[in-house]
Structure 1
Amino acid sequence: MKKKSTAFFVLSVIVIAALAYIGAFGLNLGTDYKIKSLGESINKGLDLQGGVSVVEQVTDKNVSNETMNRTVELLNLRVNKMGVSETNVVKYGKDKIRVEVPGNYSEDQVLSTIGKTGKLTFVGPDNKVILTGDDVKSASPGYDQTNKPVINLALTASGTKKFSDATAKFMGQKITIAMDGETITDPTVDTIIADGNAQISGETTIDDAKQKADIINAGALPVTLKPVEVQQISATLGADALPLSVKAGLIGISIVLVLMLIWFRRPGLMADIALVLYIVLVLMVFSGLGVALSLASIAGFLLTVGMAVDANVLAFARIKEELKAGKSIKTATNSGFKNALSSIVDSNINTIIAGVVLYFLGSGEVKGFALTLVIGVLVSLFTALFVTKHLLNWAINMGLINKPEHFGVKGVDKC
C-alpha cells in the first residue's frame, strides 16, 4: 500500500508540475511544432487588446425577436469575414445590437462591414446567380425521413420557376448558397424541385441547420441599422491592465498558498498542489473553448480560486473536528470529506445557478464574468473533492501525514 501510494503521489506531482511549466512557458518540440503557453493561446477581449465597440439601433418598427436573432447571426457572419474570431455580437436591450471587434481595426472598417446590405445568392456551377434573397420566403431547420437534420426552404412564385429550371439543368451538380459572397452551404441537386419547397441535407446537427436557416432568413428579411454609439478602445488600456491583473492575481494566489501551508500544515501542501492543478485546468478549458479573456473574466477566475480554496478549508475543518473527537487519521480524513460534501456542493450549486442566470440574462462583460465563474466552480469541485482527497490519502498511506499535529491539532495522539 505504501509503495503504491508513493508511486501515485510522486507521479501526480510530476504531471501537475509538468502541466504547470508547459502552461506557463510553452514547449518547443523541434523546429516545426510548438505548444503555446496558456498566455499565448487564450484569446483576449476588447478591453485587453483594444478594438472597436459599436451599438447599432434597429430603426424598423415592431421587429420580432426572431428577426433580431437573425440579424445577430448575419452581423456575426459579416464581422467574422474580417478575420476576427473573438467578435462579440449580442442583443442590447429591445432594439439594439452591440458589436465588439477586438484587434487593430478602425471605426470606418467596422461600420462599413456592419452597414452593408445583406446579399443572399444561389449560384450555379456556371457561376451565374440563380436566386437572390428576394426569391426566398423562409428557411427553417427540420428533419428528413431518416431523422437527419435539414434546412427547409420555401420560395416565392418567381423563385419557384427559377429554381425548377436550375435544378433540372444542374442535376447531380452543386448549387452554392452564399451570403455576401461567403458560402453558407453547397448542396448537390438530386431531384427537380418544381413546387418551391426545397430541402437541403448534409447538416451535422440541428443547431447547424438552425444557424444557417437564420442566416438565409436574415438575407431575405434585412432590417435597417443605425449606429448610435461608436467607441475606439485603445490597446494601451490592455497593455497596462493585463500585466497589473496578472501581477495582482499572482500575489493573491501566492498569499492563499502560503496561508494554506501555515494554517493546515502538510494537508495544506496537498491543497496547494491541487490548487496549482486547478489553475492550469481552468486556463486550459478557457483556451480549448475559445473564451475571450476580459478584465471581468479575470475577476471571475480569481473569485473561483478563492472558492476552490474554500472547499478545502471546509473539508480540513471537518477533519480537524473528527481528530479532536479522537478518531484516527484515515477515519477522520474520510469522515471529514464526507461530512463536508453537502456544504461544498450546496454552496457551489448556488454559485453555478447564479452564473447561469447572469450568462443568459447578461451581455458583454457580464457574460464573460459568468462564463469564467461557472467553469471555475465546476473545475474546483473536481480538484477539491477528487484531487485533494486522493493526494491526502496517498500522503497518509506514505506516512508523510501520520499525526494530528500535521493538521494543526494538538493534544491528540491518534494515527
Structure 2
Amino acid sequence: MLQIDLWKRVLIWSLCALGLIMALPNGFYPRVEAHNDATASLEAGFSGNGLEEQAAMWPNWMPSALVNLGLDLRGGAHLLAEVQVEDVYETRIKALWPEVRNLLRAERATVGTIRLQPSDVSELRVKISNRDAIQEAATLVRGLAQPVVSLTGAGTTDLVVTTEGDEIVVTLSDAEKLATDERTVQQALEIIRRRIDEVGTREPTIQRQGADRILIQVPGIGSASELKDIIGTTAQLTFNPVVGRAGSADAAAGAGNEVVPSLDEEGVYYILESAHVVSGEELVDAQPSFDQNGRPAVSFRFNPSGARKFGDYTAENIGSPFAIVLDSEVISAPVIQSHIPGGSGIITGNFSVEESTNLAVLLRAGALPAGLNFLEERTIGPELGQDSIEAGRIACIVAFAGVLVFMFLSYGTFGLFANIALIINVGLIFGLLSMVGATLTLPGIAGIVLTIGMAVDANVLVFERIREEVKAGRGPARAIDLGYEKALSAIVDANITTFITAVILFAMGSGPVRGFAITLGLGILTSVFTAIYVTRLIVVMWFERRRPKTLEV
C-alpha cells in the first residue's frame, strides 16, 4: 500500500531542511567569511579595526560553516621544497666531539693527550699522542655506537670507527644515513605543518613527494614569498659558549670552534664553541613578550633536561658571555650575571613586534632539522581562482538546466518531482561539505557536475518501472508502489559500486583526486537519499491530494 508514516515524513523533511540551512552560508560567502575571521580575532583577544562590525555581518545563531576553497579556486601559494638531508650529517658529527672528548679524557693515562683535527664535515678526526693505544681508544669510541632504528638497518650500528696512524676517524654508517634521511624528511613535514597551522591558514596541502621533497600548497595566502617567510627559516636555536670576538669571517677559530656573524652588529663576529650547551629542540614554549625596557622580545622555557643543563652552565660560568644563536647568526651574547634556575629566560634583540611574534611561532613549532631548497614556487592570483569558480558555475548551471529540461520532457509531472529532488540534492551536497569542513577544488566541481548527471539515474529507473507496471494493467497506487520496490535493488547496487570507487580514489589518491572523490562520494549518498525518500514522499503527497485514476509517466 502506498503509505508513508508521519514520523518518516517529518524526519525526511527535517533532514532536507537541516542540509539546506547548513548550505545557506555558502550563498553569502564573503560576508560569512568576514564574520568568521572577525569572530576568531575577537575570541583571541583582539579588538578595533572594525572587527565588531564585521562580526555583526552574519547572525550568531545561524550556521557559519563554509566549504573551504582549494588553491585552484581561492588562489594562494605553491612551493616544492627539497630537504637538505646532508645538513643533518654535519650536525650529528659536530655533536659527537664532546662525547668522544669526555670519553677519552677519562683514559688520558692510557691514550695521552687528545686533539680535534681539521676534517671534512662528514667525519670526525681525533688525534691522540700515544700511538700505541690507538686501537684501544678506537674500541672505546665504538662503545658510543647505537643500533640503527629502522627496518632496513636492523642489526647495524650508527657509527663507523676506523684508525689512520694516530688518528681516530668517526663517520656515520650507510644504514644510519638512510634512516636519518627518512626521519629528517618526516620531521620537516610535521614541523612545516605545525608552522602553517600556527598562522591559521585554511586547509593547506602538505605532502611528501619522492625521497626528499615536500609539496606545500596554501590557499588564501598572499604570495609564495610570504609562505617562504613562514616555513623557509630553519629556526635552529642554540646556546653556545663564547671563546672571543673577531673582526672578519676569516678569523682563525681553532679546532672545535666556529666563527659566527652578529645579527645586529654589522662587521662583528663571534668565535664560539661548535658544541652547544642546549638547543631549541629542548624548548617547550616560546611566547612574544617585552624586555625590561619595553622592547619586543621572546620569552622561552626549556624542558627538565634542557633546564638542568642551562642552569648548571650558568651556575659554573658567571661573568662569561653566552651566545644565543639563531640559524648561524648571533642574535645576542649577554654576560651571565647569576645562576639561572628553572630553565626559562628571554631573548632580546632589535625585534619589531611582528618579528618577535613570528620568531615565537617558529620556535614553538620546532626547528627544521635541515635547510630547504625551494625548487619550484608559484603564486596563484585570486583572479585565476575566480575564473575557475566562474567556469565551474557555468558548467553546473548548464548541466543542471539540461537535466531539468530532459527530465520534464521525458516524464512530465514525475520529471518535475525529480527536478525538485535534484535541487534539494545539490543543496544537501554543499551542506555536507560545509559540515565536514571539506575542501572544494576544480576537480571537486567536476564531481558535483557528474553527480548532477548521475542523480537522476535512480529516478529514471523508478519511473521506467512505474511505466512497465502501468502497461501491465496495475492501478496507479500499486504501480507506484511496485515501481519503487522493484527498482530499489538496482539503485542500491549501481550506487554502491560507484561509492566503492570513490572510497578507493580517496584512500589511494591525493590532492585534486581526493577533492573529486569527496564530492562524488557525498553526491552518491545524497542522490540515493533524495531518489528513494524525497522523490517518493513528493509523489505520495501528490497522489494523496490528486487521487488520479490513471498515470501518465
Same fold (TM over 0.5): yes
Contact 1:16 1:277 in 2 (8 A): no
Report the secondary structure of 1:326's partner residue. coil
> After superposition, what is the alpha-carbon deviation per residue over 1:3-54, rounded to whole angstroms, capped at 9, x for unaligned?
x99xx79x969969986995685599xx945369999943322112221111
Shift of 1:180: 6.3
Distance verdict in 2 for CA 1:366–1:401, change over 3 Å: farther
Specify the SS of the correspondent of 2:456.
Answer: helix
Scaled by the length of structure 2, the TM-score of the pair is 0.52
Between stretches 322-331 and 299-308, larger displacement belongs to 322-331
- How has the CA–CA distance of structure 1 residues 20 and 266 changed in structure 2, closer, same or farther, with 3 Å as cutoff? farther
Work out the CA distance in 2 between the residues paired with 1:184 and 1:321. Answer: 71
- Kindly indicate whether residue 74 of structure 2 is the aligned counterpart of residue 49 of structure 1: yes
Q: 2:422: which partner in 1?
A: 275
Which residue of 1 is the match for residue 406 of structure 2? Answer: 259
Corresponding residue number in structure 2 for 1:102: 219
Give, in angstroms, the shift of residue 280 of structure 1: 0.7
Q: Which amino acid in 2 is paired with 1:131?
A: F
Give the Å deviation of 1:225. Answer: 3.1
Whether the 8 Å CA contact 2:78–2:218 is kept in 1: the answer is yes
Q: Which amino acid aligns with 1:74?
A: I
Alignment pair present for 1:287 and 2:311: no
Secondary structure of 2:234's partner?
coil
Alignment-mate amino acid for residue 49 of structure 1: R
> Is residue 485 of structure 2 the alignment partner of residue 317 of structure 1?
no
Q: Which residue of 2 aligns with 1:243?
A: 390
CA-CA distance at 1:362 after TM superposition? 1.6
Alignment of 1:181-260 (within 5 A): 181-182=360-361, 219=366, 222-260=369-407
Q: For 1:241 and 1:330, how far apart are their aligned partners in 2? A: 47
How far does residue 263 in structure 1 lie from its aligned partner after superposition? 0.8
RMSD of aligned alpha carbons: 4.3
Unaligned runs of 5+ in 1: 133-154, 171-177, 186-214, 408-415
Distance apart, 1:129 and its partner CA = 3.8
Kept in 2, the 8 Å contact 1:38–1:287? The answer is no
Deviates more, 1:286-295 or 1:120-129: 120-129
Question: Taking structure 1 as reference, are residues 357 and 344 closer, same or farther at Cα in structure 2, changes over 3 Å only?
Answer: same
CA contact (8 A) 1:53 1:101 kept: yes
Residues 352 and 58 of structure 1: CA distance in aligned 2, closer, same or farther (over 3 Å): farther
Give aligned pairs, total.
335
Please give the per-residue CA displacement for 1:188-226, whole angstroms capped at 9, x wherever unaligned: xxxxxxxxxxxxxxxxxxxxxxxxxxx7xxx48835432
SS state at 1:404 partner: coil
2:536 to 369, 389, 392: 389
CA contact (8 A) 1:26 1:34 kept: no
Which amino acid in the other structure matches residue 50 of structure 1? G
Distance 2:232 2:216 in 1: 12
CA change 1:265–1:343 in 2 (3 A) is same
Structure 1's 73 and 329: CA in aligned 2 closer, same or farther, altered over 3 A? Answer: farther
Percent identity reads 33
Letter of the 1:77 counterpart: R
Aligned AA (1:48): L
DSSP 3-state at the match of 2:518? helix
TM-score when scaled to structure 1? 0.67
Distance change in 2, residues 1:75/1:222 (3 Å): same
For 1:181, the aligned partner's letter is A
Task: Tell me if the contact between 1:266 and 1:401 (Cα under 8 Å) persists in the aligned partners.
Answer: no
Moved more, 18-27 or 232-241: 18-27
What CA deviation, in whole Å up to 9, does each residue of 1:348-405 have, x standing for no partner?
2222221122222222211111111111111212111111111112211222655222
| Residues 2-401 of structure 1 aligned to structure 2 (within 5 Å) | 22=24, 26=28, 32=56, 34=58, 41-60=66-85, 62=178, 68-117=185-234, 121-123=283-285, 129-131=300-302, 158-159=305-306, 161=308, 181-182=360-361, 219=366, 222-399=369-546
The residue identity in structure 2 corresponding to 1:47 is D
The unaligned stretches of length 5 or more in structure 2 are 32-52, 86-176, 236-279, 290-297, 313-340, 343-356
Task: State the 1:278 CA deviation.
Answer: 0.6
CA contact (8 A) 2:70 2:440 kept: yes
**Higher relative helix content:** 1
Change (3 A) 1:83 1:130: closer
| Mapped partners of 1:18, 1:130: distance in 2 | 49
Matched to 2:72, the amino acid is D
Q: Which residue does the alignment assign to 1:189?
A: none
Q: Tell me, in whole angstroms, the C-alpha distance in 2 between the residues paired with 1:350 and 1:310.
A: 14
Alpha-carbon distance change, 222 to 25 in structure 1, aligned in 2, over 3 angstroms? closer
Q: Which has the higher contact order (CA 8 A, sep 6+)?
A: 1
Give yes or no for contact 1:131–1:162 (8 Å, CA) kept in 2: no
Please say if residues 195 and 361 of structure 2, whose CA atoms lie closer than 8 Å, have aligned partners that are also in contact. Answer: no
